[in-house]
Each structure stands twice: as C-alpha cells, then as structure tokens.
A and B are shown apart, each in its own frame.
Chain A
Amino acid sequence: MKRGKKKNRRIRGKNRSLILLSMPSLIWYILFCYLPVVGIILAFKRYRLIPGKGFFYSLINGSEWVGFENFRFLFLNPEIGKVIRNTLLYNMAFLILGTVIPVMLAVGISYIHSGRIRRFVQISLLLPYFLSWIIVSYSVYAFLSYDRGVVNSVLGSMGIQGFRFYQSPSLWPFILCAVNVWKSSGYMMMLYYARLMAIDTELFDAAAVDGASNFKVIRYIILPELKNVILVMTLLNLGNILSTDFGLFYQVTRNSGSLLSTTETIDVFIYKALMEKSNYGFSAAASLIQNGIGCIILVTANRLLKKNGGGGAAL
C-alpha cells in the first residue's frame, strides 16, 4: 500500500516535469497556431472596424457574413489554371530534387575521411540557407542582368549575343529549381547526415568483412536506414503542396511580367491581387484554401502510409 502510493507520486512528479518541459512550446502553439484559427471566420465576413473598438469586437459584432464571396477573386483570374499548374509542378520538382540531392550529398560527405574538409564542405553547403531571398535575388540579378550581368559579359567576350533572361520564360523553371536546390539542400543534407551518423557502425563493419562494394553499402544499409526520415520529410512537404516560397517566385524573378507564364504561383498571385488593399477577408480565404487542401492531402498520405506497413507515418 505504502509502496504503491510512493510509486504513483513518482510518476506524477515525472509527468509534471515533462509537462513543464513542454509548456513553452505548448504555449507557443496555442498562441500562434491554435488561437489564430478563430480568425477563419474572417474568410467568410466583410471586415469593418468599429471606431474605438478592437479587432475581435469589430470582427464579431460589426462585420457582416458574406458566405463564399471572399473566395471569388481567386477564380476570376483567367490564368488561374496555369497558376495552379505552376504551383503543383514546382512543388513536385522541389519534392524530388529536395530529397535526391540532399541524400546524395549526405552520403557523399559521409565518405570524406578528412574531418577538416568534411566540415568545410558541410558549412559551405549550409551557408546559402541563411541568406535572405532579397540577397539571393540581387545575386541572381548580378549574374543574369542583360547589360551588366556576369553571364552576358562572359558570353559577350566569346562573341555570343547576350540573353534577355528576365524576358525569357522558358529558362526560368531551370533557374528557379537550381536556385532553390542551391539554397535549401545544405539544410536538408544536415538532417539526413545526422541520421546517417546514427547508423550502428557494426553494420558497416559486417559489410566490410563480407566484402560489399560502396554501392551495395548505400543500397542495402544507408538507404533503408534513411527511408523513414525521407518519408517523414516528404509527408510534411506534402502539406504545403499549394504554397510556395514567395521570396523565390516573386523576388528572384523580380516580378517580371514576361516570365509569369512559367513562374507565377498561387502565393505570387495573391500578393499581387491584395498588396495594395487591406482586405484581410480575401487573404484569409486564400490561405484557408491553400492550407485546407494541404491539410487534407497530408492526412490522406499519412493514412496511406500507415496502411502500407506504417513506416514513416508521422501522425
């Protein structure tokens, strides 16, 4: 009896410390992820401020319900089909490139024996991740500018007529993919590399004893060990399938109109439609669509994974 009571108290103590430990992030989630969900009603209202009252009061008491009116502007754009196509295709490309290249890099780096060179490569791959899109935009511009860009002056010195990059839409899917890979793969590579380092070294020793080639080690040890991380990362990215990095598609292309047919994504369109207005109803409607569909896809994919053996199901 006495012992049981003691045990019980100990568990409770343990729970308490765990709860305390998770409090900061719990509070963060409540403040920034759950509380704003109430704002969804903004998507179905025409917001009007009541002078002298706060945002919530005006939203609840002063704003009329308008049903799906706020969603209409999205579908008035005659190019919306192209915009959705661009968004999906870019996200697919990033999903594939953003997995294959970082995994290759991580595996490659793990084969570098000199610690110093390895650290140098890691850091130089990671650096672009910390640059802001504005800086990236200007760097890209320094390369591609028509009259002062590096690329055109090199071409010019070889006697080749320069390109008007910012007026040539067909080049941009490649440019944007390259820029995105350059900027983000260092970071993803670190995730995979960390998982790689956690693989039991006995496996490698056994492989070496059996005389397995590098290719076989990668195929039969490394990739199966990385599989779950890859699946989780893919799953999480699926949730953002309708959202794109605004900085990449708006800043790096310098909002050049000629490029739109291949570079305009949903976020860019929304920004351009709403940037000069304080129409929060429209913005709320747009992000509700983006995130709502993303959420459905995420949950569905997770379910499918669970059904097929469960490896990597995140939820």
Chain B
Amino acid sequence: MECVMGRSNNGRCVLSGKKGLRRRLTGAFLALMTAFLCTGCGEKVEDDRTGAPTELIWWTYTPDGNAPDDLEKVLEAANRISAERIGVTVKMIYKTTEQFELDQTTGEYYDMTFSCDWCNNFDVNAGRGYYYDISELVKTEAPELYSSVDPWWETGTLKGRIYGVPMLKDLGAEVFFRLNSDYFETEKGLTLPEEMSFGELEPLLKAWKEDNPGDYPFYISKGGVAGLFQVHERIVGNYLVIPYSKAGTSEGTRIIPVFDDEEYVGMLRKMHEWYEAGYINPDAAAVEEVPYSIKCPVRTGTAWTGFKGWSDRETIGFNVKLVRFIGPNMSRSTQQGSLIAINAAASEEKAKACLKYMQLMYTDRKFRDTLAYGIEGEHFDYYKDTVIRTAAGTEHYMQDAFVTGPAISASVVSAGKDDTADPEQWDKVYEGYKNARISDTQGFSFDPAPVEAEIAALDAIWSSYASELVTGTLDTDETIKLMRGQMEKAGLEKVQEEAQRQLDEYLEKFR
C-alpha cells in the first residue's frame, strides 16, 4: 500500500509543476502503472495476532454466481464451532467456473479452494504447481483426516505427491431416469424396475405421447440427456474417450474418438428416432434449460443409489421414481468430483490450519451439517437420523453438499417425513462400487500443453455441432460424418496419438 500512496503523491506534484506536458504525462503513466503492479502483488497475508483465531479464505463453487442468502448467518454459527474447537475460522467466497479461471490466473490470494475435474481443474492446476504439496503434512498434522479419506488419496495425488484432499461423495457415475410414478405406475399399471436400459424407455415415451399428443414426454435442453456421456471416460475434451464397456479387455487402454463408442452412438441414434417421433421437444437444441414449470414425466441426471434429492413432491408436482440406466462407472474423472486444495503460496501455518479445518469437516457431524444445511431448527431439522430441510432452508440456504465439504460425513437428506432416506446410504453406495466398471487408466490425466492449439480448434468444432447431435435434432450418422471430417482436418489424429503416447508412458510404471 505504501508505495501506491508515495507514487500518487509524486504524480500530483509532477502535475502541478512547471515541466513540459510530455514529462507530466509520463509521470502520470508511470504512477498508474506502478499502482497497477502494486495492487497486483500487494495482497500479503497478515500474520496472526496471538490468541485470535486464524481466518482462512476459502473459495468454493456456485453455479450461478450467487452465494446462499443466509450464508453470513450460517458461517457465523460454523465459525463459532471451529474457533472453539481448533482456533480457525473461514471466510467463504463463492465463484463460478469462469471466476475460478480468471482469479487463479491473476494470482488472487486464497488459502484453500474447491477444485475438481470440471471446474478449477485439479490435475491442470496441481501440475502447474498452484497447489500446496501436503504429502507429509497431512499425515503429521491431521492423522484423522488421513485415515478418513483412506483409501481414496490417489484421487488427490499427482505424480506421486498429494496436492488435494478428496471431499468424498459419490465416486462412480450412475445416471438415472427420474420418472413420474403417479402416471406410469398408478395410472398405467406398469412396474418401474430399479434399473433399465436406455432403449427400454421407448414404450414409456410412446404411452405418454399417445395420451398427450401435443406434449413432449422427453423435454430436454441443448446439453442433451444429462449424464449420457458417462458410458465412457473422457480423456481429451468431450471427443477422445475410452468406453467403460472395454474395461478389462485389451482395448481398455485404447483412446478412441467418441464417434467410435458404439454404446454411446447407439443411444444418440435412439435420440434421433425419438426426436423424429415427437417424443423430444423440437427446439431442444436451442433451449437453455428445462424449468420445473414444465411437468415432463421423464428427466435424467447423475446421482447415486438411494438419493432422495430430486424427489420432493411439492416442487415437482408428482411422485417420482429413480431408475438407473448407466453405471456405476468409475474413473479418475468421476472420482474427482470434489476436492479441496491449499494454495502453494500459503504459509505452512495456514496450510496446517486448512488441514485441521478439513479434519473437523470429516470428524464432527454437527459441524459438517451446519456448513451443509444451515442452522438446526431454522434451515433444517433432524428426523430419524436424517435431515429434513425446512422451507427457509430450501429458500435461503440451498446448495449441493459437495460445495461445503465431504458428503459422506454429513447427514443424508430425506425428501419428507413420509419419504425418508436411509441414514446408512453411503455405506451401501460404496458397497455398490464393488460392482462398478472401473477404467483401466489407473488415474491417468492428460497434459494438454503439447497440443493446445489443436485442442482449441477441436473444441470449437465440437461445440458447434454438439447440441444438435446430442439432442437428436439432426441425423446422427450424417452429423458424425461431418464432425469427424472437420475434426480430422483440425488435428484429431495428432491429439489422439499424443494422448495415447502419454497414457502408454504413464501405464509403464504399473507393469
């Protein structure tokens, strides 16, 4: 700060002096420049005063740029607990994907940050050295944290060093249809199974369409069917993949263009058939989102077995049943759904405080529930060892559990008193992962640096046609032919070879 003041004084003095205009302007220019440089690097962390709790700056994720309304109130309650237990408080700052990118790049200061596979990319940032190496520190400073996360540390490890603490939640991808059970089961007398294939949805769509010819049973937005891609592990962008269907075979480590994943393309062809049949809304490729005001009988999403989060009858308007059609499939990217990493620029004291804080998240359920669901009695109530949100909670303190820490150490959420969740839900989910199709890539992550230009060109082509491909708007095979042709000209094969080379090299060490 001091140097900024000094310079601007100087600037004023030069302006009122009798030197030439050019010199005055140069002075002003320099002053401004220095001011810029200083604000850029001037954000030093203040040393803690003795006795006062250490305050940590914690960046976390928000999809829409807003923090929950009641954040301040809730954080005050959470800070009271953490200050008393470990002498640490936090200041949470909510950021969108774009804000994370920008603030990481400009070197804004934080102590710990949300990081994952699809936002504030963990592998990329850890690879660049942005995150604190906690390999030893976590064992000595937070042994309980270490044992709570065990055996999943590989998720936060890059090149043999630990850079992030996994915030454990669902680790495998399971994709569900959320079906209107009032209509399909009560009215039509069908029985919805726990699990079905994608194609088995067709008779349900047909039945609805016959009863409501003017409506679209499968109302989707330009992103297509949420989670449909979870049949393969994405290696580069959305277009170089390894299908889970090949896991365990000789092709389990062969990277292919997404167009060659028969399971996926088969589902896209079905989508086009359904589009032509009028099951899918004709403007799907141009629609940004499907609001709850559209009462469509079929929605999809990624969740986990036993999840009750989309089942609130009052919000949706009818009773629903979740039917799984993909998964569980597991790879590094599905496991990296949520981590907390510590800033490489943080002092050792701050890093220790961060680890202590995360340890508290994992070991103190009351504290964890406060962060996740708000204040007991105001935002939520306990019922049969689960949490039921109040109206105030739904309205003013609603966010995904992973935003505020590990999901498995928080109480599970019930849809209502007559629709309670299984408090032991997570044990069962993790038990289910024993049957998961697990990728053979052993936690490989692709380093895009050598082919960045090609990837930018490929991303542009992909994003040009993706919405019409994944919504079934255009003929699947023709669109794929077009995309493949353009992408090959832009260097798809070069990127594929580079990725394969990196993967083979990485896998050497496991042989």
Contact = CB atoms under 8 A, between A and B. Distances in A.
A274 B457 CA distance: 9
Contacts of A31: 32
Given A76-B457, A272-B460, A54 B28 contact: no
B345 interface: yes
SS of B interface (majority):
helix
B467 A257 contact: yes
A72 B453 contact: yes
A49 interface: yes
A54 B33 CA distance: 13
A166 B130 contact: no
A264 B129 CA distance: 37
A76 B464 CA distance: 15
Interface in B87-137: 101-102, 104-107, 109, 128-130
B286 A55 contact: no
A199 B40 CA distance: 52
B299 to A, nearest CB: 20
A147 B285 CA distance: 13
Interface residues of A, number: 53
B289 interface: no
A65 interface: no
B285 A51 contact: no
Contacts of B285: 166, 254, 256-257
A134 B30 CA distance: 40
Nearest to A69: B453
Interface stretch (A225-233, A241-249, A275-283, A289-297): A275-283
B462 to A, nearest CB: 9
B348 interface: no
A73 interface: yes
Interface of B: 21, 25, 28-29, 32-33, 36-37, 39-41, 101-102, 104-107, 109, 128-130, 222, 281-283, 285-286, 343-345, 452-454, 456-457, 459-461, 463-469, 473-474, 486, 489-491
24 contacts: A47-B105, A49-B105, A49-B106, A49-B128, A51-B130, A51-B344, A52-B343, A54-B41, A55-B106, A56-B36, A57-B40, A57-B41, A77-B457, A78-B489, A166-B285, A167-B468, A255-B222, A257-B469, A258-B468, A260-B464, A264-B464, A276-B459, A277-B101, A277-B459
List of 10 A-B pairs having minimum Cβ-Cβ separation, nearest first: A52-B345, A54-B40, A278-B101, A76-B457, A78-B489, A54-B41, A51-B344, A73-B453, A273-B460, A257-B465
Interface of A: 19, 26-27, 30-31, 34-35, 47-58, 69-70, 72-73, 76-79, 141, 145-148, 164, 166-167, 254-258, 260, 264, 269, 272-280, 282
